[in-house]
Structure 1
Amino acid sequence: MQRTTIEGVRIAWARSASDVRRETAHALIRSLAAELAPGSDLRIVRRCVQCGGPHGRPLLPDAPLHASIAYAEPWVVVAVTREQDSAAIGIDAEHAGTMPALRALFAPADPPDLRGWTAIEAALKADGRGLALPPDQVRFTPDGFATVPGGGDFRILPVDVDPELIVTLARRPPDSGPRPTPRR
C-alpha cells in the first residue's frame, strides 16, 4: 500500500488481482479508517441506488467517515476522510495514455481529456448520483471547482500516485453546500 494526504483526505493505492479488488479496496479503506476513527466499527456497506446490488458508494455507517473507491486495473485507489473535515468526497482513476469511449456522452461537443474525465467522475461520485447524472452537465470554474447541477460545488484536486495513473479527488469542505445525495 502506498499513501498520501490531500486537504485532510487520506488516499491509498495498491495493485490487486481483479478477482479480489473489492476485498483490496475494503482493506485499504479499513486501514485508513482505523487511523481516522480509532475504535469505531469499520463495517462497510455498499448498495447500488439503481439496482440494489452490492456495489456503489462505500459507506461506514458506524464511523464518522466518508469513503470513495476507484478501480483502474490492476490498481485500486481509495480515499477516506472524517465528516468534520469534508462534507463529501469522490475519487476516480484512469490509466494514463488511454481514453475511455466518451464521444457519445458529450456529443456534439468534444469529450474532455483524461484529467477532465477523472474530475467529472470524481465530482459525480462525491455528489452521490454518479453517472445517473449526465456527465456533460458538470461545469468547471477557473479556480479549481466543479459544479454539479443540484449538488453544489466540489474542489477538484489532482492526486500524484503513480506515473501510469491519472487520479483526481473531488472534495466538498464541511458546511459548504448541499449534502451528497444519500445512497439507500
Structure 2
Amino acid sequence: MAFTEGRHPSDAAPRTPVVNAAPPQARSRAADHVWAVTRIAIGWIFLWAFLDKAFGWGFATPADRAWIHGGSPTTGFLKGTSGHALGGFFGGLAGQAWVDWLFMIGLLGIGTALVLGAGMRIAAATGGVLLVFMWAAELPLATNPFLDEHLIYALVLAGLALVGAGDTLGIGRWWGDTQIVRRHRILK
C-alpha cells in the first residue's frame, strides 16, 4: 500500500461533489435580462402614472382633472384615505401645491431613472420611500394584515439597485463610469 506525503489514503476527508462551481455573485445573462426587463417595467409604471396624471389621458385620470388643466394629482388618493389609521395626516396633504410638485417630480424622476438604468440607488431609495408612504396611507389594509403591492414593489426596487440592473439593457454601466458618479457613488 502506498502512502502519499506521509498520509494513508483512508485518512483523507471524503469528497463531496460540487454542484455549482460558479462564484455566488455570478449571474447568468438570462437573470440579468429578467432583472433589466423588471426594471424597465416598474419604471414604466412610474412614468405612466406621471403621464396620465399630468395630461389626463383617461386611464386613471380624466382629461378635465389633469395636472396641466389645474387638477391635483394627489387629491383623489389622499382624500380617499380619510377612513384609514393615518388618514387625517395624509388627507391634510391632499391638493397642496408642494405635495403635488414633489409627487410628480418623484414619479417622473424615478420612472426615468428606472427605464434608463441610471441613478438606480437614488431611484430605489426615493421610489421605496414613496411606496412606503402610499402603503402607510392605506393602513389598515383591506385584503391583508400588513403586506400589499406597495411593499413588494419597494423590495423589488431595492433588489434592482443591489444587482446593478441598470447595466443590462440600460445606460447604468456608462453612467457609473462618468466622473460625477465616480466622485459621488450615491448617484450610481
Does TM, scored on the shorter chain, surpass 0.5? Answer: no
Computing the radius of gyration over CA atoms, which structure comes out larger, 1 or 2? 2
The answer to which structure has the higher helix fraction is 2
TM-score between both structures, scaled by the size of structure 1: 0.28
Higher relative strand content: 1
